[in-house]
Structure 1
Amino acid sequence: MTLQQQFIHYINREKLFSPQHLLIVAISGGVDSVVLADLCRQSGYTILLAHCNFRLRGGMSEGDEVFVREFAAQHKLPLEVRQFDTATYAALHKVSIQVAARELRYAWFAELLTRSGGKNKARVLTAHHLDDNTETMLMNFFKGTGIAGLRGIRPLHEAIARPLLFARKQELLQYAAMAELQWRTDQSNEDNKYTRNFVRNQLIPLISTVYPEVETNLASNQQRFSGIEMLYNESVQRHLKKLLFPHGNEYRVPVRKLQLTTAAATITWEIFRQFNFPASSVPGILLLCESESGRYISSPTHRVIRHRNWLVIATAEEEQSTLLVVDAPGSVNYQGGILSISRETYAGEHPDQGALSILAEDREIIFPLILRPAKTGDYFYPLGMQKKKKLARFFIDLKLSRTEKEAVWVIESGKKIIWVAGLRMDNRFRITPGTTSVLRFTIQKKAPVH
């Protein structure tokens, strides 16, 4: 088949777009985008050319824009041009030049797409080809992006289509020569300070000296990895249904089930990455499965806390969480008010300081503490008693209403309740004749909202 026949076949096979779509063709002036524009034109599609002038290469950037304008005029194609102050954008947003150019380019493409009627009526086309995909796959492999990175660039993602992913760079050059096309050469493509250029110009040629068929083999692997990714995602979703359970504002993972899961580290990554935990946190999360209650690991947005038989995933904002970790004496806000904890020298006071304050034996308490709502099955040893009592029975004895029961919080250390907050402390943390240091727990309740 000719390159144009392969082009049409690939579009149909991947269902990239229909003849009714307007094709917004990103054209830089380089050989790849010029060939893409010509193939679309020769195949009878409706085209709108879109050129980004990033103003990064002085006269070369201006020359690229002039060339694209002449190309559009020669073939009577509509053209949109946008100039960007890329360097200023990069400085303001504290990103690299490459990231800035990408963000600016795709934001503008989104504008053009919206103006053209959205993805139901238009597509944005970029000229990524098979060699680009091979480079991307290698870069993703070295960055550790997992299965998704190994399948490389998607032929279609939302409204962005890449209809040249079937073709090698050499094939595009041959087509351009036979069609007597003109194009611009970007000298920065030879600068190996850019990662992609280093992979293209040095790494792949070096590997080719040992494995001459490396590019062909990598291209074949991309197709297999794409299928593997689909099977992998199906399996992950089945595991998530068994392991990740919503619980109010939190999520919970059963410790034992996670430990017994095949490929536990992989499944752990898939569970916790959606809560912004990096891959490097996976060993620490698995260690939580073997630790005592109260231990936790944080991401920028969440905490995963070991709590009895569960790993609890809670938002970092304490006000939104129903299970809070108290690392040390101090104050913490929670839904019922403010809990304050201070370490003091014992001066002979009675441990029960009224409904909203207690004194507890410092030596018996191990941080971090857990502050959480009371729940079914909780029990404690009420102060002055040697036998345990379930909170449900304790609440009945106090004749608490359902609403009052639901508002009760407990503070625990090592799975032992220290204080049913505002009601009764636990006898195991009582002051003894040998007590010299105590922890004072005080609650300042929130004022009722009228």
Structure 2
Amino acid sequence: MKTFNPFDPAAFRTALRDFMDRESLLPAGAAVLVAVSGGADSVALAHLLHTSGITIEIAHCNFRLRGKESDRDEVFVQKFAAQLGVPFHVTHFDTNGYASSSRIAIQEAARLLRYGWLEELRTRLGISVLATAHQMQDSVETLWMNLSKGTGISGLHGILPKQGALVRPLLFATREDVAAYMAAEQLAFVEDSSNASDKYTRNYFRHHVLPPLREAYPDIVRQTGVSIERFREAEMLYRQAVEEYRKKLVEQKGEEYFIPVLKLKQVKPLATIAYELFKPFGCNTHLAAQAADLLDSMPGKFVTTATHRIVRDRKWLIITPLQADISAHFLIEEGQREIQIPGFRISIRIAKNDGRGIPADGGTAYINLAEIRFPLMVRKWKQGDYCYPLGLNKKKKLSRLFIDQKLSLPAKEKVWVLESDKRIAWVMGIRLDHRFRVTEHTEQMLVIKMDSVS
């Protein structure tokens, strides 16, 4: 990290340009929408960009949380934009009302409202870049907060210089650097009184955690900033390694993902790789650990996240998306020739039994029409269902039949049955019921065919 003289405005602008070029923050000739609260950091950022010859527009959020002080800040930023001769945009929020209706903390409500409006404004104006004034100490505070809560490697990179259209051009500078620039350029700013309160976590770290550390290590902010840059580079290598494991271990088939049990058990470090593999499927650290425990569990065990189910099969961990509830009962009336169920098209016809035998086709059922009572019902199977499997003529629970067929839990959940007069005539795609079989005495057959649809 290069050093510069913050009391020299030209040197500061050069350092800003170098940082933006190194991090590819600003396309050539692009304009910037700058979020300005009126505090020293945002005023300095807007002034630095403007005096560097970059086209800017200023946006200000009035959260109406501090009464007259909030209105004072708005007036200040409006006058500041006028002094620079740049466009000014403002919005007002009922932050307390939004926080109450959304049942979230005030800080989180303000953050969501702010970034939502800024992004909408940026898009509407056709500006390619949105800039906020986070500086190095903000990033260092974020790192310490993440460490205190417990974090993976992504928590070590602090605040990123760029996330999509959002950039933070001041991350190379400390709070003291900004103060020196403000003094050198004789720039005014307003102070947010809530910054003195310790009820917010960040302020507690700012007022009570970093100061004692600074007594022992006076340059802790800048040195931690250097470490953050190294952590970011280490994270890049880490992500590359994780992607290699993902390519080797995760196989996608349609909407399902398969991970071989034996291969994953041999991976080291298992906990870290397992966490990264399971994270895209809704796993936090705790659920990822539970999912890894499936490697040593019996087949059929599973872990459910908000979006997926991870099932221990005999040789695989099978990851399937949770499906929204759908209608699970469909009727086939006499004379009906086709119906649709989720994932399948079912065609129905009547054929004469010519005595030449029944073709072997798991997707088609040949049923003795004399045993059928309309309407037929197609539904998902449920616990307690039973049939008389063809060739066995002995009552058997479907759950037991599925075990004999070695069906995985995801496969079981996709099984439909055809029911006639409350009797299962066909476990669809798996086994016909013996009571509905075609015999030499059968004159007419009901032929039901299943075709998969995407």
Tell me, yes or no, if the aligned pair for 2:389 and 2:432 is still in contact at 8 Å.
no
1:5 aligns with 2:14: yes
Q: Given residue 34 of structure 1, which amino acid in structure 2 is its aligned partner?
A: V
Tell me, yes or no, if the aligned pair for 1:373 and 1:407 is still in contact at 8 Å.
no
Moved more, 214-223 or 271-280: 214-223
Question: 1-side partners of 2:87 and 2:51: how far apart?
Answer: 15
State the match for 1:48 in structure 2.
57
State the match for 2:109 in structure 1.
100
TM-score, normalised by the number of residues in structure 2: 0.73
State the match for 1:292 in structure 2.
298
- Match 2:429 to one of 408, 420, 442: 408
- Match 2:259 to one of 227, 235, 253: 253
Cα distance, 1:371 vs structure 2: 5.2
Cα distance, 1:211 vs structure 2: 4.0
Tell me, yes or no, if the aligned pair for 1:30 and 1:186 is still in contact at 8 Å.
yes
1:133 aligns with 2:154: no
- Match 1:24 to one of 4, 27, 33: 33
Pair 1:295–1:178, CA change in 2 (3 A): same
- SS at 1:206 equivalent: helix
1:342 aligns with 2:384: yes
Moved more, 75-84 or 254-263: 75-84
Cα distance, 1:239 vs structure 2: 0.4
Moved more, 59-68 or 99-108: 99-108
1:234 aligns with 2:240: yes
Q: Please list, as runs of the form range in 1=range in 2, the aligned pairs for 1:3-402 lying within 5 A after superposition.
A: 3-119=12-128, 123-317=129-323, 337-342=379-384, 352=388, 359-360=395-396, 370=408
- SS at 1:342 equivalent: coil
- CA displacement, residues 236-290 of structure 1 (integer Å, 9 cap, x when unaligned): 0000001111123210100000000121111110111100011112332222111
Unpaired segments ≥5 residues, structure 2: 5-10, 327-341, 345-377, 413-425, 436-447
Pair 1:180–1:115, CA change in 2 (3 A): same
- SS at 2:317 equivalent: strand
Tell me, yes or no, if the aligned pair for 2:391 and 2:434 is still in contact at 8 Å.
yes
Cα distance, 1:67 vs structure 2: 0.8
Pair 1:238–1:89, CA change in 2 (3 A): same
- SS at 1:51 equivalent: strand
Cα distance, 1:355 vs structure 2: 9.0
- CA displacement, residues 348-396 of structure 1 (integer Å, 9 cap, x when unaligned): xxx848899964499x9999x955659xxxxxxxxxxxxxxxxxxxxxx
TM-score, normalised by the number of residues in structure 1: 0.74
- CA displacement, residues 295-351 of structure 1 (integer Å, 9 cap, x when unaligned): 11111111111110000001222889xxxxxxxxxxxx997732233399xxxxxx8
Q: Given residue 338 of structure 1, which amino acid in structure 2 is its aligned partner?
A: K
Question: 2-side partners of 1:125 and 1:79: how far apart?
Answer: 15
Q: Please list, as runs of the form range in 1=range in 2, the aligned pairs for 1:418-433 lying within 5 A after superposition.
A: 422=433
Pair 1:353–1:238, CA change in 2 (3 A): closer
Q: Given residue 27 of structure 1, which amino acid in structure 2 is its aligned partner?
A: V
Question: 1-side partners of 2:281 and 2:186: how far apart?
Answer: 53
Moved more, 45-54 or 105-114: 105-114
Pair 1:219–1:357, CA change in 2 (3 A): farther
Tell me, yes or no, if the aligned pair for 2:130 and 2:165 is still in contact at 8 Å.
yes
Tell me, yes or no, if the aligned pair for 2:33 and 2:57 is still in contact at 8 Å.
yes
Q: Given residue 130 of structure 1, which amino acid in structure 2 is its aligned partner?
A: M
Q: Given residue 66 of structure 1, which amino acid in structure 2 is its aligned partner?
A: V
Q: Given residue 113 of structure 1, which amino acid in structure 2 is its aligned partner?
A: R
Tell me, yes or no, if the aligned pair for 1:337 and 1:446 is still in contact at 8 Å.
no
- SS at 2:296 equivalent: coil
Cα distance, 1:35 vs structure 2: 0.6
Cα distance, 1:213 vs structure 2: 3.9
Cα distance, 1:203 vs structure 2: 1.0
Question: 2-side partners of 1:357 and 1:12: how far apart?
Answer: 77
State the match for 1:430 in structure 2.
none
Question: 2-side partners of 1:357 and 1:185: how far apart?
Answer: 84
Cα distance, 1:407 vs structure 2: 5.3
- CA displacement, residues 148-201 of structure 1 (integer Å, 9 cap, x when unaligned): 121111112111111100000011011111111110001111111101101111
Unpaired segments ≥5 residues, structure 1: 321-332, 345-350, 375-404, 410-419, 425-444
- CA displacement, residues 187-239 of structure 1 (integer Å, 9 cap, x when unaligned): 11111110110111111113334444432331111010010011001100000
Cα distance, 1:91 vs structure 2: 1.6
Tell me, yes or no, if the aligned pair for 1:373 and 1:408 is still in contact at 8 Å.
no
Give identity over the alignment, percent.
37
Question: 2-side partners of 1:188 and 1:48: how far apart?
Answer: 26
Q: Given residue 339 of structure 1, which amino acid in structure 2 is its aligned partner?
A: W
Cα distance, 1:104 vs structure 2: 1.2
